[in-house]
Amino acid sequence: MREYEVPPTAGMPLRFADFLPARGEGDFLDTAKGMLGVSHAGLACSGTASLTLLLSALRLLAPQRRSVIVPAYTCPLVVLAVARCGLKMRLCDLAPGSLALDPCELARLCDEDTLAVLPTHLAGRVVELETSRRLAGEVGAWVIEDAAQAFGARLEGRSVGLVGDAGFFSFAVGKGLTLFEGGMWVTRHPELAASIEDASRRLLPWRPSWELMRSLQLIGYGLCYRPSLLPWVYGRPLRRALQRGEVAEALGDVFSADFPLHRLGRWRQKVGARALRRWPAFRDALQAQAQERLPRLRALPGVTVFEDAPGGEGVWPLFFLQLPSEAAREEVLRRLWTAGLGVSRMFAHALPDYAYLRPWVEEAPVPVARALAARSLTISNSLWLDEGRFARTVHTLETVLAD
């Protein structure tokens, strides 16, 4: 067993003191709202649950509209949330070389039936929103920003989630600040906020057994999220799944359509409130490390390093790269995926290519999303990825790309 393993994304480590009863740390939701500068927001048990609340609220406002446009390369949980709300998914391919929705495809898909469009700030990268806002606006649909991976990211000086009509963040393990599972929705419309609060009271019951399990899991995270223990809790299961050839399982991409819906407990909110006080400094440290390392990734021949759209200031849990060929990506992963250096992949497939999602996902020609699934990889921006380890990754990329 390895003695040191870097996690695939820069999660914020918790401290012993975060778990102790303490006074005066403030309320998690209020602190988060203050930090982001949002007025209308709420918590849920996951990002997926937050999206479920947003869609349920919109459905009541426009019952005749039944479809939601989502990027063809995103988290499978988005599909399950759309399905859970009884809505129909429509897949939009990405614009070539970008993580934004393809404008021509989006224009073709938007119609009187469209309830919402979901531009996604994947990997902490801020995508352009003007096109989605204009095209959704023309047909009377809403823009929901999927900011599950982008808590703290800003566009034109405002938090993501406020540029569109609404948005949501995830506090799942692997997305930066974590409550093991958790989510937050935001909106700039007070009336919409009131409907989301209503949906929250209807759809999120108090579930003590789920909350107890999540609390124990959060304690487990607090104890085990360190390079000396990650070989056991992250590396070993990863290697086993890959040995079985189960890529989607290795990436944690397989979820139940019956995902839990419940309230986020008080105690975990307290833990989060204490962690949140350290979060601005943590975000700044990741940003500084990213600025230093980005030029070396940009210099790799034929590689696209995804960056923020103009006016965007994203967050940096990881670097998201697209290589010139699938063969090169496979070779890099063969050398590095299980090397403990924080190299991994985003999602296993474009949405039409997950067998278990077939009941909800239409077959669609989405060549850009499929190429991204086949040719992309991620490099952790964890502060535990020291210079020597990062240099090894860059060197391996250079070697493979030179062949």
Ligand X SMILES: *Cc1c(COP(=O)(O)O)cnc(C)c1O
Binding site for ligand X (CB under 6 A): 46-48, 74-75, 77-78, 120, 122, 146, 148-149, 170, 172, 183
Q: How far is CA 313 from CA 118, 152, 304, in A?
A: 19, 9, 18
Exposed (0-12), middle (13-18) or buried (19+): which is 221, by Cβ within 10 Å? middle
Neighbours of 287 (CB within 10 A): 17
Give 44's strand partners: 183
172 vs 323, beta carbon nearer ligand X: 172
Question: CB 136 → ligand X: shortest distance, Å?
Answer: 18
Q: Which residue in this structure is represented by tokens 């499929």?
A: 370
Question: CB 79 → ligand X: shortest distance, Å?
Answer: 10
11 vs 47, beta carbon nearer ligand X: 47
Question: CB 181 → ligand X: shortest distance, Å?
Answer: 6
Phi-psi group of 152: left, alpha or beta (phi > 0 → left; psi -120 to 50 → alpha; rest → beta): left
Q: Which amino acid is at 281?
A: A
Q: Which amino acid is at 103?
A: P
145 vs 165, beta carbon nearer ligand X: 145
Question: CB 11 → ligand X: shortest distance, Å?
Answer: 13
Question: CB 268 → ligand X: shortest distance, Å?
Answer: 13
Question: CB 259 → ligand X: shortest distance, Å?
Answer: 7
340 vs 381, beta carbon nearer ligand X: 381
Euclidean distance between CA atoms 220 and 403, whole angstroms: 43
Question: CB 80 → ligand X: shortest distance, Å?
Answer: 9
All residues at 6 or more sequence positions from 240 whose CB lies less than 8 Å from its CB, including other chains: none
Q: Which two tokens stand for residue 43?
A: 């918590």
64 vs 256, beta carbon nearer ligand X: 256
**In angstroms, how far apart are the furthest CA atoms of the chain?**
59
Q: Tell me the three state secondary structure of residue 186.
A: strand
Euclidean distance between CA atoms 10 and 13, whole angstroms: 9
How large is the C-alpha radius of gyration of the chain?
Answer: 20
DSSP 272-312: HHHHHHHHHHHHHHHHHHHHHHHHHHHTSTTPEEP-PPTTE
Question: CB 399 → ligand X: shortest distance, Å?
Answer: 31
Question: CB 45 → ligand X: shortest distance, Å?
Answer: 8
Question: CB 48 → ligand X: shortest distance, Å?
Answer: 3
All residues at 6 or more sequence positions from 298 whose CB lies less than 8 Å from its CB, including other chains: 305
101 secondary structure, DSSP code: B
Q: Tell me the three state secondary structure of residue 377.
A: strand
6 vs 179, beta carbon nearer ligand X: 179
Q: Which residue is nearest to ligand X (CB)?
A: 47
74 vs 187, beta carbon nearer ligand X: 74
149 vs 159, beta carbon nearer ligand X: 149
Q: How far is CA 74 from CA 32, 44, 69, 352, 372, in A?
A: 25, 20, 12, 11, 11
286 vs 328, beta carbon nearer ligand X: 286
Euclidean distance between CA atoms 116 and 335, whole angstroms: 41
Question: CB 323 → ligand X: shortest distance, Å?
Answer: 21
114 vs 178, beta carbon nearer ligand X: 178
183 vs 272, beta carbon nearer ligand X: 183
Give 142's strand partners: 116
